[in-house]
Structures are given as C-alpha cells and as structure tokens.
Amino acid sequence: MPPGVEVIKKHYRRFLKMADSTQSSSTATLYTTGHDRDKDLEKEDNIDPVNRPNVDLEKGKEEQAPPAVLDWDGPDDPENPMNWPQWKRNFHVVPPAVISFAATLGSSIYTPAVPTIMEKWNVSSTVALLPLTVYVLALGFGPILAAPLSETYGRHIVYLSSAPLGALFTMGAGFSQNIQTLCILRFFSGLAFSPALAIGAGSIADVNRPEHRAIPSALYILSPFLGPALGPVIGAFVTVRKGWRWTQWTLIFFAIFAFILTTFARETHKSTILTRRAKRLNLPPPPSPFPNRSSKIRFLVTVTLIRPLNMLITEPIVAFLSLYVSFNFSVLFAFFAAFPYVFKGVYGFTTEQAGLVFLAIGVGSVLAVPTVIACDFWLYQPKVREAKQNGGNGGVPPEYRLYPAMIGSVGLPIGLFWFAWTARSDVSWASPVVAAIPFAWGNLSIFIAAATYLIDAYQALNGASAVAANGLLRYTLGGVFPLFTLQMYRNLGIDWATSLLGFIAVGLMPVPWVLFKFGKQIRKRSAYD
C-alpha cells in the first residue's frame, strides 16, 4: 500500500465520524452519485441528535454536543442551502461560473497579442508565448490553494478574495514594460483566479441534492471551456483596436462583474455555516479530528497534492484517464498558436478574422452539454432505476459514467484529421473551421465523463485526489504544448503536424472503452478502492 495511506485513512475515518458534513473536496461532492452518502445520512437520521456522540480524540471520552453544531436542525432547517428557494439556489451557480469563465478567458485572451509582443520587445515566438504558459500552469495550482482555504474559512471568502486579487495582478500585467514582468504578474493573476475552478463544483453540490445536480453541473463545467473559445475573439479585436495592453485590462471588467455577483451570494459550505451558527448561539464548536489548524491544512495538502501525485504514478485508471484528458486539453491550447498560423498564413485572415475562428471551439463545447445530459438520461439513469427495483440503493458501477467519453472519443480524431487535410488554399476556409467543432465536442464530453468516473470509482476523498491529479497533469501539459506548436507546424507542415496529433488521439481512443470493459477488475487491485 502506498506510504502514508494508512495514516491518511485513519484521520479521514475520524473526520467522517465527527464532521461528516465537511466536503474535503468540492469537485468530489459535485460528481458523486450521492447513493452512499444518502445511505449514511439515513442511518444518522435514526439517531437522536441530542444523544449524538462527540468524541474527544485525546482522552477517548464521549461528551454530549449541541445538535445544531453538528448537523442541521432537521431536514427543513432554513439555513441549509438545499432548502433555499429555487431561484436562490440557481443564483449561487452563477458567481463561481463567471469567475471560472474569467479565469480561463485570461489564458487565451492574450494569444492574439503575441505578434505585437514579439515586435515590441524583440523576443522569439516561444518567449512571447511564455505569459500564456505561466498563466495556465498557475491555474493548475487551484485545488492546492482552494481546498485548505475553503475548508478552513468557507467558500464565500475565497470567491470574494479571488476576483479582486486577480484583477489587481491583471492590471499590473497590463502596465508591464518587459516580458519578465509580464510573465511574473500573469502567473500571480492565474494563481489568484484559480481557486474558483476547484471549489465551484462544491458550491453547486452545497445547494443542490444529487438528483438535481445534472443541469447546473453541466452548465458550470461549460463555463471554463467557453473561456478559451471566446478569449481569442475578444483579444483579437482589442489588440487591433486598442493595443495589446487591453487584452489584460479587458479581463478586469469580467473580474469586477464576478465580484459584484459574489457580493450578493452567501456562504454555502455546511461546516462553515454550522460553526458560525454555533458562535452566534454561544455554543461550543464541534471537536476536530485534527489537534490544530495546521494539522488540518497539512491533511488537505496531502489530499490535493501528495496523494494525487502518488495516484498518478500507481493507479492505472488515474494515469491513463489523466493522460487522455490532458492530451486533449493540450491540443486545445496548442490551437491558440496553430490557428493564427494556419488561417493567417494559408487564407490571409486578419488578426480579428483569425480570432473569430475560435467560435467553432465554443460551438463544439456547447454541443457536449446536451450529449452528456442525454447519456445520463437515456443510459445511466435507467441503470439507477433498475438497481433500485432489484432492492438496491441505486448504486451503479462507475463504468456506466463512461458513455459520453466513449462517444466523444470518436470526435477528436475526426476533427483533427479533417482539419489536417482540408487546411489548404484550394479548400474553403470554412472546412477547417467546422472541423474544430467535433474536436471541441469530443474534448468536453470526455472531460466530463472522466471526472464523474474518477469520483464514482474512488469515492469522496480518494476521488477528489484523483480529479486533482487529472487537473495537475492537464494544466501542466496544456501550458507547455503552445511553446513548441509553431516549430512543429513549421517543420512538419500543417497536414502532418495536425495528423501527428490525430494519430496520438487514435492511440488514446481505446482508453474509455478498455476501462468500460475491464475497469471493475482494475479497481479490485487498487490500493485506494
């Protein structure tokens, strides 16, 4: 068994007994089916809240604890976000979605300014793309920052801090006088915006029961994928008409809008709400399985960094799914460099026209949402009903979450080969533009399916680490790919450079199909199952 796993499991067992309401990972809570958790809650409903045990870890004694501190005051507690009016619950999906959109918009809005940066500061294309790379790498640190902060201080304060900090660093980036300053400030800008990408899913889970999460979850997940699609469009127009600095300053307006929305939101994190209510009622706080706050932070860092790296190396499911999703994500970011090269060089597009090409990415991403919802409705939910009819609690093997990935896996090679062999002067520009749609559709379909599968396969805490591992690899590769994209296209040509990516997509295409067939056997040998 991997080192440290037993220690982590021991702490987590205590954590679940005494603070079952705490969501150690926002992403985990979003995608879990809720069956196991609902079953546990049903058991606890049979316990008199007044007699609920409160264990002292050091002395081993049981004391009586106020029920309002440990759990809601019954199923109709008005302070429970799941009991809020429908309009209010729907509204709380918007702030994290807008911040997530702004975060990923910031990655791609810069790319139309690369030629200007090359000319202004006399740097190579690779160096001019570094501000994109460092920003994307910073987004990968979101879970590492967000988990300890949101679990300790609540989600709302993280949102309130994220947007203003991101705006300040972005403003500084716009005033940069050299490439070094731009890279540094872009990194901290991405770091400030990144927490929403990790904890936004938890906010949705806080206000929606598992059976009602499909639509808000799909819409939330769409938002960070629309950012890379719309960023080059906006960036192209502001670069041409206002100058490259406005690619940064435009992002500030989105951050301000997100901040205004967040000020109207309320805290949704269960343990934070209950702790504040305890203070308001002068009740003692619930005991913690951790001796001090630093121990809790160390535990959460283990969940969001150390364990994900271990799972990335030792778990075949995590490794291959993360590799597949990360490659797809990296190709998307490689297009930030490739699209302008292709459409300016082959078709003579202007900067603004080349930016508009990325709208095809947005169209494909939007089409992925109904695909995922249809798979859930027509393929997954019937299995849930069948399981309940057979006397179960509705639990379904996690492999049935892979349907969107299996369907979407066809879209990637189709889109890439289509683009590779039609992006030439004797074929209309419309053909390679349309080719981006099936690629983007398959990319997002695979991503959503992979995330849901990892959570269902590894459950709560381990599933959070598996998704964090996916994120770390995804943003690392996504940040690096644009650095060598132009060299690859110049040396191999548009047709074979894109075909190379297509061949890799074909090689990775069996991943969801193999896991659908053999996933159960692989999970049996897992140290984290």
Query: Residue 138: its pLDDT value, please?
Result: 95
Query: Residue 529: its pLDDT value, please?
Result: 66
pTM, to two decimals: 0.83
Q: How many CA atoms lie within 13 A of 55 on its CB side?
A: 12
324 vs 33, more confident: 324
pLDDT for 32 beyond 60? no
Query: Residue 149: its pLDDT value, please?
Result: 80
Q: Taking residues 340-352, what's their average pLDDT?
A: 96
Report how far residue 351's alpha carbon sits from residue 113's, in angstroms, rounded to the nearest whole number.
9
- Banded model confidence at residue 463, pLDDT cuts 50, 70, 90: confident
Q: What one-character DSSP code corresponds to residue 81?
A: G
Q: How far apart are the first and last CA of the chain?
A: 11
Residues 194, 103: contact at Cβ < 8 Å? yes
Q: Which of 2-11, 86-95, 518-527 has the lowest mean pLDDT?
A: 2-11
Q: Taking residues 248-265, what's their average pLDDT?
A: 96
Residues 162, 196: contact at Cβ < 8 Å? yes
pLDDT tens for 218-241 read: 888 899 999 999 999 999 999 999
The DSSP result for 223-275, as a single string, is HHHHHHHHHHHHHHHHHHHT-TTHHHHHHHHHHHHHHHHHHT-----HHHHHH
pLDDT tens for 399-426 read: 999 999 999 999 999 999 999 999 999 9
Hey, what are 56's tokens?
Answer: 């002292």
- Banded model confidence at residue 31, pLDDT cuts 50, 70, 90: very low
Using DSSP's 3-state secondary structure scheme, residue 245 falls into: coil
pLDDT for 511 beyond 70? yes
pLDDT tens for 394-405 read: 678 999 999 999
Q: Which of 47-61, 159-173, 289-303, 468-482 has the lowest mean pLDDT?
A: 47-61
Query: Residue 287: its pLDDT value, please?
Result: 67
- Banded model confidence at residue 204, pLDDT cuts 50, 70, 90: confident
Report how far residue 394's alpha carbon sits from residue 389's, in angstroms, rounded to the nearest whole number.
8
pLDDT tens for 109-142 read: 999 999 999 999 999 999 999 999 999 999 988 7
Residues 423, 502: contact at Cβ < 8 Å? no
Report how far residue 230's alpha carbon sits from residue 445's, in angstroms, rounded to the nearest whole number.
19
pLDDT for 34 beyond 70? no
- Banded model confidence at residue 70, pLDDT cuts 50, 70, 90: low
**Torsional class of 428: left (φ above 0), alpha (ψ -120 to 50), beta (otherwise):** beta
pLDDT for 68 beyond 50? no
Q: What mean pLDDT is reported for the chain? A: 85
Q: What percent of the chain has pLDDT over 70?
A: 85
Q: Give the largest Cα separation in the chain, rounded.
A: 80
Q: Which of 244-253, 343-352, 430-439, 470-479 has the lowest mean pLDDT?
A: 470-479
Q: Taking residues 175-182, what's their average pLDDT?
A: 97
pLDDT for 249 beyond 90? yes
pLDDT for 20 beyond 60? no
pLDDT for 37 beyond 60? no
Q: Taking residues 139-157, what's their average pLDDT?
A: 82
pLDDT for 29 beyond 50? no
Query: Residue 17: its pLDDT value, please?
Result: 44
pLDDT for 459 beyond 90? no
| Most confidently modeled range among 10-24, 26-40, 202-216, 394-408 | 394-408
Pick from 195, 204, 209: which is nearest to 38 by CA?
A: 209
Q: Which of 38-52, 370-384, 495-509 has the lowest mean pLDDT?
A: 38-52
pLDDT for 39 beyond 70? no
Q: Which of 163-172, 194-203, 434-443 has the lowest mean pLDDT?
A: 194-203
- Banded model confidence at residue 73, pLDDT cuts 50, 70, 90: confident
pLDDT for 13 beyond 50? no
Query: Residue 321: its pLDDT value, please?
Result: 96
Q: How many CA atoms lie within 13 A of 317 on its CB side?
A: 32
- Banded model confidence at residue 163, pLDDT cuts 50, 70, 90: very high
Q: Which of 125-139, 148-162, 198-212, 442-456 has the lowest mean pLDDT?
A: 198-212
